[in-house]
Chains A and B, each alone.
Chain A
Amino acid sequence: MNRAGILPLVFAALLGSSLAGAEEPFVIIVNPASGVTRLTREEAVEFFMGRQKHLPSGLVALPVEQVLPEPVRRRFYELLVHLPLPQVRAQWARLYFSGVAQPPRQTDSAEETLQVVAANQGAIAFVEQSKLDPRVRAVLTLGN
């Protein structure tokens, strides 16, 4: 193989490893019929921290959260709430043991998250950007 043939392969390998190491953005998603087209970060915090029970369109909100590896979850909450994960857990314990809120409904995969959001008008969830598909609407991107 000549030099001209090797260089593109090396470049592609470096680019590939660089992409693999990059942290993928998250997108906040809602049902396309929710009446919500856009959220600010501050508004999204309200739903994932149990402070807001209705979407801006008036629908009852159904927050959904996929069970994720801790580093991924930690990164999401640092991007969204600007708080370390133990602080997020403590804040949820306050809400839950006050009888005012239940934590988001949990899903086991991105596909299940998308299904739940597609099937519930009030659902609000987050997925990694590459998982986005037309069944749901992205209203906020975090970490891009």
Chain B
Amino acid sequence: MHIRSAPCRIACLLLALPGLAQEPARNIKFSAFGTLGLAATDTHLVEFRRDSSQYDGAIDKPNAKVDSRLGVQVSARLGDTLLATLQVVSKYNYAGNYRPVPTWACLNWNPVAHFTLAAGYLSYELLPNGDRADVGYTYTFVRPPVEVYGMTGITRLRGVDAAQTFTLGSGTTLQLMGYLGQSVEKTSGGASFGTWDLSGGLTWAASAMVQSGSFRGRAQSTYFKIPNNFGGTVPELQALLTGLGADLGQPGLAAVANSLNVKGTIGRSLQIGGAWEEGPYQVQGTLWHVTSDYVAIPTTNSGFVMFGYRVGDVVPYGLFARSVSHPNPIPDLGNLGSLPPYYGPVASLGAIAAAGVAEGITSIDTNQNTFSSGLRWDFADHADLKFQLDLIRAHNSTALMVNFDPAQGAQWNGKATVMSVTLDFVFGGGR
């Protein structure tokens, strides 16, 4: 299915609805949501991105691209059991533009009590309390913590999900859910990796969610088969390693070059989180564990905890997030990085190739933590203003801050402060 075709089909279906629906005027809802945001850091040495779907990020001048977004949605109830939804979001992306993409274009079918089946373009639920990452109005902080969600990559898929809900007691439910489909994402890997096309990768996931009164707990296990190799300088590095291997009579270098093919490898994640909202209190947190078969994607553990307390229309909050990566060992390259001078230009190329492999293996590490504090002000029925200050501390290396000039990035001392202000709004979707 072409990426543009499903929304068009859903739109056509929605236009045909008045003839199907019992009460068309009430059953079709048009709505919109958005965030107008400004973010700036205190350094020009690295750029702060919200996640890897963004080409570049904020430096020491305020910019709107990190958090701003606009979404529109049409939903229609078709009788008692079918809900059609089309949602399109425009936000800053991997290519450095705001091209709109479908985040939902699906039919949600509820044929029998407690069972639902959805098909089409679907978005994963990421945050532990069910917040939608694109709809800033639904969550308290300015953006999902980058340590946990900054390298997520896969947030949308083209496929099906099924959910069965069991009632465990008065007001307590257990929902078991499964996803199956293909991803529809592209991410930006900076100069080294270029645009990484993750679309078409087989993805499947299973989740369990418990809702009991004010508490919501959720666990999800996700598998993803990576569909495409990296772009950027990786193919050049592979060609260089293969050529040097042939010239030097070291077949092991060709094997290292092959190991840099990410296509066909499997990524796995396990996330466990919970949220509790009661009266003025808001608490939520999550832990993520990510592993991969691929040599350059490290095993990473991350998590965050957030606490907020509402005073009237204002919610002061604090948040701590941390990510720790355990990179794979750098493959054995023999003496490639220190060939004797009599190899001439080959020695120089060998040193370049060895440095390239070392950088490639460690460049997706995400060793970083952030203390955030902020204020959400619900100044109108369906709008809020947020102010947030993030104190970032990076350790060793971090892929969460990017710079296209490695020499400049190397001068960074691992500390950054991000100041953000956002205006979130929803039209027609709340109550």
B173 & A51 in contact (Cβ 8 Å cutoff): yes
CB nearest to A50 among chain B residues:
B431
A40 & B171 in contact (Cβ 8 Å cutoff): yes
CB of B196, distance to nearest CB on chain A (Å): 27
* Chain A residues positioned under 8 Å from B207 (CB to CB): none
CB nearest to A55 among chain B residues:
B113
Contact of B213 with A by CB under 8 A: yes
A85-96 near B? 1/0 per residue, CB < 8 Å = 011111111111
Contact of B137 (CB < 8 Å), options: A40, A51, A93? A93
B202-216 near A? 1/0 per residue, CB < 8 Å = 000000000101100
CB nearest to A53 among chain B residues:
B110
A94 with B431: in contact, given A86-B378, A102-B29 (CB under 8 Å)?
A: no
Contact of A135 with B by CB under 8 A: no
Contact of A83 with B by CB under 8 A: yes
B137 & A98 in contact (Cβ 8 Å cutoff): no
Contact of A143 with B by CB under 8 A: no
Please tell me which stretch of A10-18, A27-35, A41-49 contacts chain B, meaning at least 4 of its Cβ atoms lie within 8 angstroms of it.
Answer: A41-49
CB of A71, distance to nearest CB on chain B (Å): 13
CB of B87, distance to nearest CB on chain A (Å): 7
A98 & B132 in contact (Cβ 8 Å cutoff): yes
* Chain A residues positioned under 8 Å from B345 (CB to CB): none
Q: How large is the interface on A (under 10, 10 to 19, 20 to 34, 35 or more residues)?
A: 35 or more
Q: Most B CB atoms within 10 A — which of A40, A51, A96, A103?
A: A96
Contact of A60 with B by CB under 8 A: yes
B106 & A99 in contact (Cβ 8 Å cutoff): yes
A105 & B26 in contact (Cβ 8 Å cutoff): yes
A97 with B71: in contact, given A42-B213, A54-B113, A102-B29 (CB under 8 Å)?
A: yes
A61-96 near B? 1/0 per residue, CB < 8 Å = 000010000000000000000111011111111111
A106-B335 Cα distance, complex, nearest whole Å = 74
A6-B229 Cα distance, complex, nearest whole Å = 93
A99 & B138 in contact (Cβ 8 Å cutoff): no
A99 with B277: in contact, given A86-B378, A92-B431, A93-B33 (CB under 8 Å)?
A: no
A102-B336 Cα distance, complex, nearest whole Å = 62
Contact of B60 with A by CB under 8 A: no
* Chain B residues positioned under 8 Å from A87 (CB to CB): 277, 282, 310
Within 8 A of A (CB), among B179-235: 211, 213-214
CB nearest to A48 among chain B residues:
B431
A94 & B132 in contact (Cβ 8 Å cutoff): yes
B29 & A97 in contact (Cβ 8 Å cutoff): no
A93 with B279: in contact, given A42-B170, A43-B170, A88-B431 (CB under 8 Å)?
A: no
B117-138 near A? 1/0 per residue, CB < 8 Å = 0100001010001111011011
A96 with B378: in contact, given A60-B81, A90-B137, A90-B138 (CB under 8 Å)?
A: no
CB nearest to A83 among chain B residues:
B277
Please tell me which stretch of B72-80, B293-301, B361-369 contacts chain A, meaning at least 4 of its Cβ atoms lie within 8 angstroms of it.
Answer: B72-80
CB of A10, distance to nearest CB on chain B (Å): 38
B113 & A53 in contact (Cβ 8 Å cutoff): yes
A88-B278 Cα distance, complex, nearest whole Å = 11
A98 with B130: in contact, given A82-B214, A82-B279, A89-B381 (CB under 8 Å)?
A: yes
* Chain B residues positioned under 8 Å from A102 (CB to CB): 29, 75, 77, 83
B130 & A103 in contact (Cβ 8 Å cutoff): no
- 14 A-B residue pairings within 8 Å (CB atoms): A82-B278, A83-B214, A84-B280, A86-B378, A92-B430, A93-B33, A94-B130, A94-B135, A96-B75, A97-B31, A97-B426, A98-B104, A99-B87, A104-B431
Q: Which chain B residues have a beta carbon within 8 Å of chain A's beta carbons?
A: 26, 29, 31, 33, 71, 73, 75, 77, 80-81, 83, 85, 87, 104, 106, 108, 110, 113-114, 116, 118, 123, 125, 129-132, 134-135, 137-139, 170-173, 211, 213-214, 277-280, 282, 310, 313, 378, 381-382, 384, 426, 429-431
Q: Which chain A residues have a beta carbon within 8 Å of chain B's beta carbons?
A: 40-43, 45-46, 51-54, 58, 60, 65, 82-84, 86-105
